[in-house]
Amino acid sequence: MPKGYIIGHITVNDPDAYKEYVERDTPILEGFGGRFIVRGGASETPEGVTENRHVVIEFPDFETAKRAYNDPAYQEVAEIRRRTATSTIILVEGV
């Protein structure tokens, strides 16, 4: 069965407030079997326009990735990200 992924492209506008999002989202997503593959770090954008931080979280399957994202506890915490950053979040099925 293909893995599922949540991919985030993020520009943090309020780093101090954003820390709370990182602290609170981690246990929720890991509780769904999520594994952070990319979480910030150096990046380059050789083509196109994107945000300055990238996150890739792997899940056992696409349905689990969707359940994790739509989980009410995660959505409550995601409000912190929405207030403190500009982001695009993508749910995708692996190969």
pTM score of the predicted model: 0.93
- What per-residue confidence (pLDDT) applies to 28? 98
CATH number at residue 8: 3.30.70.100
* Count of domains forming the chain: 1
73 is in which domain, residue-wise? 4-41+51-93
Report CA-CA distances (Å) from 70 to 32, 41, 45, 67, 91: 11, 26, 29, 5, 11
For residue 46, being part of any structural domain is answered with no
For residue 17, being part of any structural domain is answered with yes
For residue 89, being part of any structural domain is answered with yes
- What per-residue confidence (pLDDT) applies to 27? 97
Which of 23, 33, 7, 8 lies closest to 80 in space, CA to CA? 23
Q: What is the dihedral of CA 56, 46, 88, 30, to 10 degrees?
A: 10
- What per-residue confidence (pLDDT) applies to 11? 97
For residue 79, being part of any structural domain is answered with yes
Residue ranges for the chain with pLDDT beneath 50: none
